[in-house]
Amino acid sequence: MSQLSPSTALPLDGQALLLQIRLLGEIGAEPEQDGRTRIALTDADKAGRDQLLRWMEALDLEIRIDRIGNIFGTLRADGDQQAPLMIGSHIDSVANAGALDGCYGVLAGLAVVRAFREAGVRPTRPITVAAFTNEEGVRYQPDMMGSLVHAGGLNVDAALETLGTDGTRLGDELVRIGYAGDLEPGALVPHEYLELHIEQGPVLEVEGVQIGVVENLQGISWQQVTVKGSANHAGTTPMHLRHDAGSVAAAAITHLREIAVDGTLATVGCLRLEPNLINVIPRKAVFTVDLRDPDEARLQAAEKRLADALAHLAETEGVEIHSERLVRFEPVIFDSDLASAIAASANRLGFSHRRMTSGAGHDAQMIARIAPAAMIFVPSQGGVSHNPREHTSDELLLTGAEVLLDVVCQRLARS
């Protein structure tokens, strides 16, 4: 096999990449809804994992699975024990999802390895393609769990004890589907980490830009707020004598619009009332709050404004309010040298690009705790994601993969 040099240009088998995206997208398909559902550690997720392993085996990769179920396929550099350049993402999905979120990044990693294999070029350091467990956090929380455990941010034994929304234990489900590996999480510490992803937002498409150079990710604060009031008759209880949990929840949710200023985003995605009857004042309201901001100080300020508002409502409305933290991740700044390398590759290949912030969480933000990391975005049509209408043109998908391959070649040429 030949060695890689800075001038080496490896051809990308774009059709193989697009075919694998389509085939993986058929696993867990729900034709009546036009989407697919591969919730982490379900039978559909197992089927997706099984297919990914077959593709890794076809490329003669060294496959390892760790105790949290993360999958690693490594193309070895002859006689070389250096830390790998890692390319990763995830293949689990939300319910009724599109075909690209996460999967594109994993399969583009395979496309990079395939380019080396087909050209007969030996990498100067190992290349590892990673598929992390439970990125979406639909069934088990927190989200980005596999990469968080890999980076040492969550103890693996604690993660295995996590109970899902369906009452299952995560460790039991890993065993059931055959993906409870023996590798200790974090054993493969990457030299550098790259993640290619659809934007999941409208910025690149609106601006007509082909490549997003992701420099940082927003901090994320998830809370569940529980309001306890008193149920009573809707027709006989005067307004000033009510302890209405539903009304208090509505006031808090409305106040979030005032909190969401200067770049802060605030969302209430779940709301439940009890007893949920038309003629009964709610005795209980439970709702979630998703706060995001790329600036840690602003995120903390938003959290405090929410806490102050809830305390004021509890006092004035005569209700009890309890807030439970579900997830808290600080903003992440990616490696500037790696981001500049992405921009340089886009320039070299003649693709337009812009530097940007990611509003969504990704496995890259966890791996950035232990290695230099950065992300590449391609446009999302209409900014749609987590939806069967999620779409990026084949041309743009291949554009992103070509940039990824070029970055890998340039970084390895320096090794």
- Among candidates 392, 394, 369, which has minimal Cα distance to 382? 392
Which helix (H) or strand (E) segment holds residue 251: the answer is: helix 245-259
Give the DSSP per-residue string, 6-26: TT--PPP-HHHHHHHHHHHHT
How many Å apart are CA 59 and CA 217, to the nearest integer? 33
How many Å apart are CA 219 and CA 296, to the nearest integer? 7
pLDDT < 50: residue spans in the chain: 6
Q: Which residues are annotated as a binding site for Zn(2+)?
A: 90, 101, 136, 197, 386
How many Å apart are CA 380 and CA 392, to the nearest integer? 5
CA end-to-end span of the chain? 17
How many Å apart are CA 126 and CA 134, to the nearest integer? 25
Q: Which residues pair with 35 in a beta bridge?
A: 30
Q: Which residues are annotated as a binding site?
A: 90, 101, 136, 197, 386
Residue 59 token pair: 């490329």
Q: Tell me how far the alpha carbon of residue 38 is from its chain's centroid.
A: 14
For tokens 């490696």, name the residue. Answer: 335
How many Å apart are CA 307 and CA 300, to the nearest integer? 11
pLDDT value of position 78:
74
Give, as one character, the DSSP assignment of residue 371: S
Q: Which residues pair with 233 in a beta bridge?
A: 280
pLDDT value of position 7:
52
This prediction has a pTM of 0.89
Fold category of 2-217+331-414 in CATH: Aminopeptidase (3.40.630)
pLDDT value of position 5:
55
How many Å apart are CA 110 and CA 41, to the nearest integer? 22
- Among candidates 68, 74, 70, which has minimal Cα distance to 89? 70
- The mean of the pLDDT values for the chain is 96
Domain boundaries along the sequence of the chain: 2-217+331-414, 219-329
388-402: pLDDT as tens digits:
999 999 999 999 999
How many Å apart are CA 148 and CA 366, to the nearest integer? 5
pLDDT value of position 8:
60
Fold category of 219-329 in CATH: Alpha-Beta Plaits (3.30.70)
Residue 398 token pair: 């291949």
- Among candidates 72, 82, 105, which has minimal Cα distance to 181? 72
Cis peptide before 275 (omega within 30 of 0): yes
pLDDT value of position 107:
98
SS3 content of the chain, % helix, strand, coil (to 5): 35, 25, 40
pLDDT value of position 2:
58
Residue 167 token pair: 């009452």
CA angle 371, 374, 377 (to 5 degrees): 155
- Among candidates 101, 102, 198, which has minimal Cα distance to 396? 198
Scored b (16 or more CB within 10 A) or e, 107-140 reads bbbbbbbbbbbeeebbbbbbbbbbbbbbbbbbbb
Give, as one character, the DSSP assignment of residue 124: S
Residue 137 token pair: 């956090």
- Among candidates 149, 155, 109, which has minimal Cα distance to 130? 109
